[in-house]
Amino acid sequence: MPLNPPLSHWQGRKVWIIGASSGIGLALAERLHADGAEVLLSARRADLLAGWCGDRPNAWAYPLDVRDPAGVQAQWERLHARHGVPDLLVYAAGHYQPMRVTDWNTPEQRQHCEINYLGACHVLGAALPALRQAGHGHVSLIASVAGYRGLPQALAYGPTKAALINLAEILHHELKPLGVGVSLINPGFVDTALTARNGFPMPALLRPQQAADRILQGWARGRFEIDFPKRFTFWLRLGRWLPDRLYFSLLRQIAP
């Protein structure tokens, strides 16, 4: 039985994507717009949003910085006044910088927290009251398989994605009885400007357009967690169930 009402017919639906100027967020915007959705796009780069929206019908730019709660609230109020309650809210904003304990950088840790987690809280704090009152809509948070368990070089990134995973689980529990769906997206490696910072081979690397296809398939099936590609995420999901001693032993063999 699906954990969410399936989302598959996009004609006329209103979708707010935060983090839509590049990567998965932009790929979702392109796909949903092509399928007839009214796309409301937010990111820090106002020029990129304006350039993409251009003369496209049913595409609007609402630039914002997720680290600024007052700015997020102001743009939400403009968006809500013009378009009403979105049928789908996607939090795709993200920050990533590889880090190991020998490279500890507290300002970078803070940056990850502010964009990857607190930014989502700012957006949800602005939008959730209207979704709860309306009794419909869907919230989708893009986390990462890096949030399953501790991984090398994810010292700053991984904890913020683990927080998003936990947040999505609680949101689903509390919002489903109110008529609001919640889904959690946990991609493996996707070819974006962020993953380009990795200095190691990335197995099962997908293009953003492929990631968007997997996400739409998951929404159409009413899934709560949408993880991909399965040939990669299966092993990381399995790692969540391994005893600590075995997990750390395997990790040292893979990434000493």
Tokens of 69: 């709660």
pLDDT at 194: 77
pLDDT band at 256 (very low <50, low <70, confident <90, very high): low
For residue 205, what pLDDT is reported?
Answer: 82
> How confident is the model over 110-126, as a mean pLDDT?
98
Predicted local confidence at residue 101, as pLDDT: 93
User: What does pLDDT average to over the chain?
Assistant: 94
Residue with the larger pLDDT of the pair 34 and 206: 34
CB 41 within 8 A of CB 49: yes
Per the listing, tokens 């392109």 go with: 30
Flag whether pLDDT at 200 surpasses 80.
Answer: no
Average pLDDT over residues 227-248: 92
What pLDDT is stored for residue 184 in this prediction?
98
Task: Give me the percent of the chain exceeding a pLDDT of 70.
Answer: 100
Looking at residues 1-25, what average pLDDT do you find? Answer: 95
- Indicate the pLDDT class of residue 195, thresholds 50, 70 and 90: confident
pLDDT of amino acid 92? 98
What pLDDT sits at residue 191?
A: 80
Q: Is the pLDDT of residue 254 over 80?
A: no
pLDDT at 143 over 70: yes
CATH topology of domain 14-254: Rossmann fold (3.40.50)
Question: pLDDT of 67-92, one tens digit each?
Answer: 999 999 999 999 999 999 999 999 99
pLDDT bucket at 53, cuts 50 / 70 / 90: very high
| More confidently predicted of 190 and 140 | 140
Enter the tokens of residue 187. Answer: 């991609």
Judged against a pLDDT cut of 90, whether residue 202 lies above it is answered with: no
Least confident span in 45-49, 189-193, 242-246: 189-193
Hey, what long-range contacts does 126-135 have (CB within 8 A, 24 or more apart)?
Answer: 126/69, 126/72, 126/73, 126/76, 126/77, 127/16, 127/76, 127/80, 127/86, 127/89, 128/175, 130/80, 130/85, 131/85, 131/89, 131/175, 131/180, 132/175, 132/178, 132/180, 134/85, 135/178, 135/179, 135/180
Distance, CA of 18 to CA of 104 (rounded, Å): 29
Cβ atoms 206, 144 nearer than 8 A = no
Its pTM stands at 0.94
What's the rounded mean pLDDT across residues 30-38?
98
| Average pLDDT, integer, range 84-104 | 95
